[in-house]
Structure 1
Amino acid sequence: MEGLNIHPEVAELYPELLEIRRGFHKNPELLFELPKTSAFIIEYLQSLNIEVHTEVGKIGVVGVIRGEGPCILLRADMDALPIEELKESDYKSSNPGAMHACGHDAHMAMLLVAAKVISRHRDKVKGSIKFMFQPAEEGGHGARFMRDDPLYPILDSEPRVDEVYAIHVEPQMKSGDFFCSDKFSSSCCDDFSIEIHGKGGHGSAPFLCIDPVVIASELVLALQTIVPRNINTKYQSVISVCSIKAGETYNAIPDSCILLGTIRTYEKEVREQIIQRATEICEGLGIANNTKITFKIDPGYGAIINDPKCIEKSVDTFKKVSPNAVRYMGYPMYGEDFSYLTDVRPGCFIGLGCNPGERGAVLHSPNFNIDERAMMIGSSWFIQLINDQLCSNEDLI
């Protein structure tokens, strides 16, 4: 953590940064059910004399600093995951079955402290800032609800947003390093279910049955031919069957079998091609086995596409905060609903290394943890971004 340019006011506020993050971590809430989380954020922003909009996209919160000039949106997500925390600490989750295992507690803390520092110097800001605290990133499309809110569409309501930025903690990456992709920061993420309608019977007489387990075996292998035999090798993509459910006992052929899985792609055309081929394979195997196979797709998030100019701005800002710690990464395959914003505005989604040096402390793990000192870097990056884009060199925050 040496050689970093932590903003002096962020360093001063480090105890508060810890307290905020740990408070959120101890009291995780899920999806859109965020009464305590949103109430804390509202009260905190109001204490800074920041204009606050509530119940945006159901329960999202937006803080606004207004000024003449461009408008930059900075985003943090609020919701936790339905995971039972195993790691022991003084701030371990107090809500059974809920845990901040994806770092959203840190995202909120970093942005709130950045908002506090920026608000102290708002007279230096030549433009506007929107601080976006969104619900339901974990599968609930919360960013879309805030973007399309009929009363306060976050991007188009005055001041109209010009660019969007977000940070995500990365506990598998070296603490203090910044990670940026030159194009995609997440993938298209679609889930699917397949039901094979068979004809059950005794295991000793399969000739009287239509065995959905055998058909499922064929289907799993057939689906794995889609990418290598249909998709150009320059387009990275994945289709995975992750669950097979059929039958209850050892000597009875079941009536049905259900497969669950996921499709990950970057390009929309490839996404559509894989879904089309999967549909055709299911229909064909159904005909071949004299039965019906139902394929259903649950559309997920699109891919985040970083804007080239926003990448350049982000990297320039990285170098001022952490001069020797900028890393370019490949294209990750996880899903992220920040794509609902980058679909319609230029922006950049970056990773912040926060490896705590603990085994198993990875995203979506019941042992998730971070090096909390890295949060000072995240807050400093938000502030430096505003310095670079909305302040003059002679009058910096």
Structure 2
Amino acid sequence: MPPDVALLTTLRSQARGVQPRTVALRRALHRRPELGLDLPHTRDAVVAALADLPLQVHLGRSVSSVVAVLEGARPGPTVLLRGDMDALPLAEDTGLSFASETDGAMHACGHDTHVAMLASAARVLAARRNDFAGRVLFMFQPGEEGFHGARYMIDEGLLDRTGPAGRPDAAYALHISATLPSGEVHVRPGPLMAAADAVTVTVRGRGGHASAPHDALDPLPAAAAMVGALQTAVTRRVSAHHPVVLTIARIVAGTTNNIIPETAFMEGTVRTLSETARATVHDEIERVCRYIAMAHGCTAEVHIEPGYPVTVNDADAADRVGKLAYTVLGRDRVVTMDTPIMGAEDFSYVLAEVPGALAFLGGCPPNVHPGTAPPNHSNRVVFDEDAMASGVAVYAGLALDALAK
């Protein structure tokens, strides 16, 4: 049976009680952002924040991950809660008193808030170990920003029955967003975020003098034709019921104004919400580029680097997130999303193995309209720290809801 409403609603005051710790950890991490899979300072800060709690702490072998396990009053199921830890390669321009002190790195996606919220949720839950049966697995993950950190942790046994907490029965994550009203929780069942694959195309022709294109094989007209034809292929070869975004974001060719180059290089991204559409688009990219190049007397080398898979929320788990947030935060704080978004998330690797859900937590700063706030991944993004108390309460509530005696 689920915990009673009174028990859950007290989580808000408990989250506010640990808010000074939450803010302090968040700001310490924000000052010293780290990129990728090797995050020694961040890892050590997490371990220090958890040091006085009754947790079993395990450090990653191949990456700077931290896994902490909290045992309840008696045996029971396992719930996984995830917080990603890495920053982005940006120069911060926010003017915050605790702005990044690391050149070319910034917590522009709010992962510092995720770590701080998860650490404080562990503190709240540790004080309530007698209220649940089973265990909570806290997953502090590096390398979410394109480095497949979750996959590394899974490969190290995170989800195995012989892993640090046994195989989880449910998995949840929150992701803060600067363009959603502060303290709101947005969630939906089914596909939530897209698969993201990188596309590179090298068009090879024959260089020559720009005044005599007939003596060369110019790769640029072929590359230009590919950009338009790829967009047509998306609209004509993929069902409108399967959303696809294909963007060629970079074209590089040539050295000066009177030389026809030998090669033209293009790269971009393709985002899909189903494996069917993903496979179709991959085939179309290869076919379109190869035959357009051939029509221009050139050749095309196409490479598609698979990225994160589609992030799919289990319907029951998404429903639990909504109901839990309704109870803990209030009815007006919960929004069911109408559509997915085309960004990507490597929590998708966990959700492919364990029923669970990822939800968005609003973090728009006060006195700023969500529609005009600098978004995640902007060098000017600012998050409302008050929203973190809501995140702590929701994290802790999800564990209590799933593990109630």
Bin the TM-score by the shorter chain: over 0.9
Match of residue 124 from structure 2 = 117
Task: State which of 219, 222, 230 in structure 1 corresponds to 2:229.
Answer: 222
Runs of at least 5 residues in structure 1 that lack an aligned partner in the other structure: 393-397
Structure 2 contact 178–373 (Cα < 8 Å) conserved? no
Closer, same or farther: CA 153–10 of 1 in aligned 2, 3 Å: closer
Map 1:255-294 onto structure 2 (within 5 A).
255-294=262-301
Asked if 1:178 is matched to 2:191, the reply is no
Letter in 2 for 1:195: T
Pairing partner for 1:349 from 358, 362, 369: 358
Contact in 2 for aligned 1:128/1:159 (Cα 8 Å): no
How far apart in 2 are the matches of 1:137 and 1:78?
A: 8
Q: Quick check: 1:73 aligned with 2:80?
A: yes
Q: Which of 46, 51, 63 pairs up with 1:46?
A: 51
Could you tell me how far 1:383 is from its partner in structure 2? 1.4
Paired position in structure 2 for 1:167:
174
Query: d(CA) in 2 for partners of 1:182 and 1:121?
Result: 29
Q: How does 1:290-309 map to 2 (within 5 A)?
A: 290-309=297-316
TM-score under structure 1 length normalisation = 0.95
Separation of aligned partners in 2, 1:10 and 1:318: 14
Question: In 1, distance between residues paired with 2:211 and 2:259?
Answer: 8
Instruction: Give the conservation status (yes or no) of the 8 Å contact 1:360–1:367.
Output: no
1:84 Cα deviation (Å)?
A: 0.7
Runs of 4+ in 1 over 4 A off after TM superposition: 357-360
| CA shift for structure 1 position 90 | 1.4
In 1, are the aligned partners of 2:182 and 2:364 still within 8 Å (CA)?
A: yes
Q: Secondary structure at the match of 1:76?
A: strand
Closer/same/farther in 2, CA of residues 108 and 374 from structure 1, 3 Å limit: same
In structure 2, the residue matched to 1:339 is 348
Return the TM-score normalized by structure 2.
Answer: 0.93
Root-mean-square deviation (CA), in Å? 1.4
Q: Is the 8 A contact 1:57 1:147 kept in 2?
A: no
The 8 Å contact of residues 56 and 62 in structure 1, kept in 2 or not, is answered as no
- 1: CA distance, partners of 2:111 / 2:24: 14
Does 1:15 find its partner at 2:20?
yes
Among 329, 336, 348, the alignment partner of 1:328 is 336
Judging changes above 3 Å, is the alpha-carbon distance between structure 1 residues 305 and 57 closer, same or farther for their aligned structure 2 residues? farther
Which of 376, 380, 397 does residue 367 from structure 1 map onto?
380
- How big is each residue's C-alpha offset from its partner over 1:295-327, in whole Å with a ceiling of 9 and x where there is no partner? 001110001110011011111101012221211
Structure 1 residues 52-61 or 373-382, which shifts more? Answer: 52-61
Cα separation, 2, equivalents of 1:229 and 1:48: 57
Shift in alpha-carbon separation, 1:360–1:155, aligned structure 2, 3 A: farther
Q: 1:57 to 1:266 in 2, by over 3 A?
A: farther
Contact 2:204 2:300 in 1 (8 A): yes
In structure 2, distance between residues paired with 1:363 and 1:251 = 42
Match of 1:73, as an amino acid? L
CA contact (8 A) 1:170 1:355 kept: yes
Aligned positions, number? 387
Rounded Cα–Cα distance in structure 1 between residues aligned with 2:215 and 2:379:
46
Name the aligned partner's letter for residue 123 of structure 1.
Answer: N
C-alpha separation in 1, matches of 2:136 and 2:11: 21
Counterpart amino acid of 1:8?
S
Q: 2:41 aligns with which of 36, 39, 50?
A: 36
Q: 2:256 aligns with which of 249, 257, 261?
A: 249
**Deviations 1:348-395 (CA, angstroms, capped at 9, x unpaired):** 000001111445521100001111100000000011112222124xxx
Which aligned pairs between 1:95-110 and structure 2 lie closer than 5 A? 95-110=102-117
How many percent of aligned residue pairs carry the same amino acid? 34
In 2, Cα distance between equivalents of 1:98 and 1:55: 23
